[in-house]
Amino acid sequence: MSDADRERVAGRLREAVGDGRLTLEEFEQRLNGVMEARTFGDAVPFVSDLPGAPVAGAVPEYAEIRTTASTLKRRGKWVVPRRLRASAKAGSVKLDFTDAIISHRVVEIELDVWAGSTTLILPAGSSVDLDGVELIASQSAVRGITTSPFPGEGLHFVVRGHQRAGRLVVRSQRHLGRMRW
């Protein structure tokens, strides 16, 4: 963690004390911890309960994840690049972004799914643009998410590519209900 990274995290603490989220005593304790942090992981406990993007180092610009004849899953704390390509042949893709580390306000997802389903679980308040997805012998469903080609107040996901012989489901985290995977 560089000095500039520590200063960026300290700025979040200053903003929180200015908003009344922290007392001056809490601010001083947390600031000392951040200034002593050697890694991003060391700094996380001091800001994890505050609004804003999670503390992260360099987030990759692009990543590709692939599967053949099996399920491809991402959930919990995982780092989301600005552009993500998900490819599956005879397998399903299940991406849960609710606890993911997302440093960009707009996330681009390119799908290349053959004979499988795709499920995207987005954080509450997110919006999604599915205009760039070609459905071939497939169907799509969106539940609890605003669909728009333009970003709203929260995170915005732009999905493009192909969904062939399967189903594309985009839902918010509050619609998980009985769904288990």
In the chain, what are the domain boundaries? 3-47, 62-175
- Using an 8 Å Cβ cutoff, are 169 and 120 in contact? yes
State residue 31 phi and psi, 5-degree precision.
Answer: -60, -45
Stretches in the chain below the pLDDT threshold 70 = 1, 53-59, 174-181
pTM over 0.75: no
**What pLDDT is recorded for position 179?**
46
Give alpha helix (H) positions in the chain.
Answer: 3-18, 24-36, 40-47
**What pLDDT is recorded for position 175?**
47
- Using an 8 Å Cβ cutoff, are 167 and 138 in contact? yes
What beta strand segments (E) does the chain contain?
A: 62-68, 72-74, 79-80, 83-89, 93-96, 101-102, 106-114, 118-122, 127-136, 139-143, 146-147, 156-164, 167-172
**What pLDDT is recorded for position 99?**
87
State residue 117 phi and psi, 5-degree precision.
Answer: -100, 155
List pLDDT tens digits, range 145-174.
999 999 888 899 999 999 999 999 999 986
Pairwise CA distance, residues 170 & 144, whole Å: 8
Pairwise CA distance, residues 122 & 98, whole Å: 6
